[in-house]
Each structure stands twice: as C-alpha cells, then as structure tokens.
Amino acid sequence: MAGRLLLFLFISVTLSHAHFTYGQRLKPRLQRDRRNIRPNIILILTDDQDQELGSMQAMNKTRRIMEEGGTSFSNAFVTTPMCCPSRSSMLTGKYVHNHNTYTNNENCSSMSWQRQHEPRTFGVYLNSTGYRTAFFGKYLNEYNGSYVPAGWREWLGLVKNSRFYNYTLSRNGVREKHGAQYPQDYLTDLITAESIRYFRSSKRVYPHRPVLMVLSHAAPHGPEDSAPQYSTAFPNASQHITPSYNYAPNPDKHWIMRYTGPMKPIHMEFTNVLQRKRLQTLLSVDDSVEKLYNMLVEMGELENTYIIYTSDHGYHIGQFGLVKGKSMPYEFDIRVPFFIRGPNVEQGSINPHIVLNIDLAPTILDIAGLDTPPDMDGKSILTLLDTDKPANRFQVNKKPKVWRDSFLVERG
C-alpha cells in the first residue's frame, strides 16, 4: 500500500529551512537554569471536528477564551483528512509520505512507527529539555495500550479508537477499564479532571518547571455520546446544510463523486440527527476549555501559558451527497479550527496565512526555545504572530512575511 500512495492534490510549497547537521542534538535556546522563563504549553485536540459545518458556533466558552483572547487562523488545514495519518503528522511535523502512516490501519502505531518516528515527536524533544510532559486521551487509532510512548512522563492513553464510555485506558502502562457511569467514566470529563490534577501537582512539586500537556478528546467523533445534561441541545441545528449539501452527482469531480447520487429522505434525516449529536458532545469540550482556563487564572499561570486548539481533520455531513465521514480532498474535510493564545499573541486577531497540522510540532518546539529538526516538513507559526506594528508614523512597515501559498494533500 505504501508504494501506491494516492496523491489527491499536489501544489508545490516553498519551505525555508535553516541548515542543520543530521545527528545534531537539539539544545534549548534558553538556559535551563533561568527559572520559569519557558512557558507552559497546552494542546487541545478534538477528533473529526469540522470548521465548514459550523461546529464552533456551539462552543461559546471556547470562542470567548481562544477567539477573543487569542488569534484565529482562518486558513488552517490538515495534509491528510484521516485520523491516524493526521495525528502522526501532528506529532512528528512530517507529511504522510515521510512518516509512512498512510491509513488508520496501515503502519498506525506499528512497530515501524514505534522504532523510527515515535522517538522523534515533540513530546520527546520537550521532555529531554526539562518539560513536565503529559498526554491524556486518544493517541493513535491502533494504539494497543501495551507500552508508554517515548517522551511522556504522565500517560493516560485511550486504547484503540474514540469512545466516550466502556473503553480502556493505559495509565502509565497499566490497563484500566472504564464503564458507562456519568460523570466518572465520561471520557471528556475524565481527561479534563486528570489533566488539571496533573498540572496542579506538577506546579506544586516542581514550581519552576514548565508543563506540556496534550488533551486529546474523542468529541465529536462517533459514537457521539453526549453528557446527559446536553442530550436535548440544538434541536433545530442546521449548520450542516451548506451550499454543497446533497449536491450530487458531480461529474466534474473524481470517480466517487461521479457515482454518488442525491441522498434519500431517510439519509437526510439521519444527517440532521448526526449534526445535533456531534454538537452536543462538543459542549463538554467547551466546558473543559473553560475549566482549564479558570485553573490557569487561579494559579497565576495564564500569562505564561500557550494554549492551542485544533482538530485532526474536518468532516462532511451530506456534502456532495456523502452522508457522513471524512477522507475527501475537499475543504469540509481538510479545513479545521485553529486557535492560539499566549504571551505576545494578539487578542481577537484573525490571521489569514495558511497553517497546517505539520506546523504543530515545530511551533511547540519553537515555544519551548528549540530549533526545528531538519526532518520536519512543517514550520513554526510564531513568526506569523509578530504584530509588525510601526513604532511611529515615520517608520516604514516591514515587507509582508514570506510564507506558504500552497500545500500537499495526500491519502493512502
């Protein structure tokens, strides 16, 4: 399969990399003995969350904290609209053809992945330079819970694919089964509570050590089990009915689109139910973001913490007659929400530059004071967050930043 990689879209991208020597050990640009100078980093990741179908409209708390309190990237995309390949790209900063995880099965959390690429994730780099690293939630679709991936001091990884109840976690290598009781087993609430507990304990025991945490939520991925208090929310949700909704067949597109006809009424009703259920699950993520934010405020850590919010890819619900799913090379599947807030990040700003999932790892390293390794394809977005405001009216504005204007979308 690896030899038969299907490239849906290729547009050349000009990347400017610094010159590195392979095998060179990455060193922090900031001295480790300068106490508490490096910021905390919290990455909040959702599963299958769309940008095109209006899912962020349901998340008022997140929008207040991340959109009004930080910078929104209006052109954020993933390079592969499938879970495991995209997550592998996020962890490594590499395109699929460089980390070789082509589908949700092939090479997903395989021995080859564990030997070649897992030792080079952003968690490994930050852990080696003194960060207190922790991962909570969904990792990779085929992760079996038999080991703790390199780089994570605290590990609470979901075994296999997204579930809200009746799942198994690997807690630092020990398998832990959960049932169907709310709230103690509800995955969104559980990883929120565990992450807050870890952050508090880390700062209590190691007050001058920065923390890196990843909260990887199952929502709004199926089975779309909402918290009970949200099970009747959004009874009239219709944001998924976009101009391309049930627009089929499409003879000008690839073969699947040419043979996909209009949905039947029963399928259209299903899409309405699915949209409601997906939004309902996101309300608990919305609560989670607020709880993390309040914790940071309470502990006096907000001003020294970067928070990044995004998804592993988008989703379609009826677009072009496709009832549900992802994996298509169209904007509803590759466009994602992407927000960042933190020190020197302009609040309430909308940034139009193209940012990608492969930029997450370089950005996290950059925040930590580390240079981007030569094998990463992405680049740090911190340079896009410079305001470049003139100091006075006589100062000439800087030239526009040189950044990508195209990117590669690929799928196995």
Supply the residues annotated as catalytic.
83
First and final C-alpha spacing in the chain: 7
Sign of the CA dihedral with 320 first, then 326, 329, and 333 last:
positive
Q: Tokens representing 314?
A: 């988008």
Using alpha carbons only, what angle is made at residue 62 by residues 58 and 64, rounded to the nearest 5 degrees? 105
CA 38 to chain centre: 22
Tokens of 381: 């977005």
What Cα–Cα distance (Å) separates residue 306 from each residue in 47, 58, 66, 92? 21, 23, 11, 19
Q: Do 412 and 7 form a contact (C-beta atoms < 8 A)?
A: no
For 268-285, letters b (16+ CB in 10 Å) and e give: eebbbebbbbbbbbbbbb
Residue 74, classed as helix, strand or coil, is strand
CB of 215 within 8 A of CB of 192? Answer: yes
Phi-psi region of 301 (alpha: psi -120 to 50; beta: other; left: phi over 0): alpha
How far CA 95 is from CA of 38, 81, 381, in Å, comes to 28, 12, 17
Helix and strand counts by DSSP (H, E) for the chain = 10, 12
39 vs 5: CA distance, rounded Å: 39
Cis check for the bond before 183: say yes or no (omega within 30 of 0): yes
How far is the C-alpha of 183 from the C-alpha of 180, rounded, in Å? 9
